[in-house]
Structure 1
Amino acid sequence: MTITKLAPLLLAFAAPAVQAHEVWIERDGTGPARIYLGEPAEVLPENGDPEFHHLKAPKLLPTSTAALTRKAGYLEVAVPAGDVRAHDDTVFEPWGDEGKKEGVAYYARAGRSEARAVMPLEIAPVSAGGDRFHLVRDGKPVADAEITVISPDKWTKSVKTDAQGSFALPTRDKGRYLLTASQKDEAGGDTTLGKVAVLHRVATTSFTID
């Protein structure tokens, strides 16, 4: 098969691969942050997700010059105490035909000590340390959005935000929880890798319940 004929097939596989992956952050206490790329509802392979090599330089918020150290399956970085945020729109190259390209931007957060959202798409607690969260897009709550809750034992449940963009966390056990949400922006936008016609925004927030 020629490269010309193979290219459309590669693009066809690119979208599902991108949509199945997420970037998330884990942190234990005030220790270093661990930034992952993979499928958080699945058990992480021993050497990390096969796509992990695409995660190279996520940008921390607030901006930090701390070095990112590549480990087996995650990037490790020392950060100040408090909630940790990172964003990255360079993980996967835009895919699709010219003029119709799609791209993905990831927004990850660890912690729930701050009741505010600062990234373009973020899942934030309604009150500091609380079990009620809201999905915020460009400073405004998003109503009727689907949120996936992943428990410490990889149990998953989908919930919807209410008219105020908030939802109550269904908890089961102690341990680390991960919340995920995505928004498909049909208006597209500019990314670090160029302008795209459709931009998929993916947000994650992790925290622990003791």
Structure 2
Amino acid sequence: MKITFAALMAFSILASPATAHEVWVERDATGPARIYLGEPVDPVPAAGDPEFAKLTAPRLIAAGAVKPVALVRRANHIEAAVTGTGDVRLTDDNVFTPWEAEGGKWEGVVYYARAGRTETRSALDLEIVPTAAGANSFVVNWLGKPLPGAKVTVINADRWQKSFAADDQGRIDVPVTGTGRYLLSISHDVEGARTLGGKEVAKTYHISTLTFVAP
């Protein structure tokens, strides 16, 4: 039986749909961005993931955008009419409401996603950033600084997946073995009180993805 990265996460902590899902963005050339919620190692169902209805208003950050980007809901994704050739980013802390975990403490999740590897700057709290435009090496940044030892899962166009540990500079080298879309994901758990969805939580799961297309 195939066990996905998301499933392993769900088994290792108190089971919650929030920690068993990821948000990611796909974009081809200068076309619209497509925003998904689900488990990226598996094909996206035609009608969307069972939890897709909870993805309602991701906050999109598009390069060069001077006004909010229009979002259109499709059957299994949200389409954003971005323009230009820059990378597209988003963040969303309202997909899942906080849940009560073991010991009566409340936990929550914040999602981040990026499509493209043309920019080397970091604009999200948790972000996988290329070391150079178009590079196959990346640095995991947390609050703008490298995150040593971060565990990054790579899924290639054939849905092969493998996890890699970043070095002491937060860097990983991704084996790009063929053409198609690659997805990288990272989860970073932070203890400490904060408010999510109007509820004070004691622990926050930060989950970030990056997609790029290898020519």
**2:68 counterpart letter in structure 1:** T
Q: Does residue 157 of structure 1 match 2:165?
A: no
Unaligned runs of 5+ in 2: 1-12
Aligned residue for 2:74?
Answer: 71
Aligned residue for 2:183?
Answer: 178
Is the contact between residue 14 and residue 95 of structure 1 (CA under 8 Å) also seen in structure 2?
Answer: no
Aligned residue for 1:9?
Answer: none
The match for 2:130 among 125, 128, 144 is: 125
| Aligned-pair Cα RMSD in Å | 1.8
Is the contact between residue 99 and residue 197 of structure 1 (CA under 8 Å) also seen in structure 2?
Answer: no
Aligned residue for 2:8?
Answer: none
Q: Which TM-score applies when normalising by structure 1?
A: 0.89
Q: Could you tell which deviates more after superposition, 108-117 or 54-63?
A: 54-63
**2:19 counterpart letter in structure 1:** Q
Q: Does residue 37 of structure 1 match 2:48?
A: no
CA distance in 1, matches of 2:14, 2:37: 15
Aligned residue for 1:61?
Answer: 61
Aligned residue for 1:199?
Answer: 204
Q: Which TM-score applies when normalising by structure 2?
A: 0.87
Is the contact between residue 193 and residue 200 of structure 2 (CA under 8 Å) also seen in structure 1?
Answer: yes
Instruction: Output aligned runs, 1:7-156, within 5 Å.
Output: 15-62=15-62, 64-81=67-84, 82-96=86-100, 100-156=105-161
Alpha-carbon deviations, 1:139-194, whole Å to 9, x = none?
Answer: 11001110000000110010010010001011221000000000111124233443
CA distance in 1, matches of 2:133, 2:182: 16
- What is the identity percentage for the equivalent residue pairs of Structure 1 and Structure 2? 47
CA distance in 2, matches of 1:137, 1:67: 29
Which of structures 1 and 2 has the bigger CA Rg?
Answer: 1
Number of aligned positions between the proteins: 198
Q: CA deviation at 1:127?
A: 1.1
Unaligned runs of 5+ in 1: 1-12
Q: Could you tell which deviates more after superposition, 145-154 or 96-105?
A: 96-105
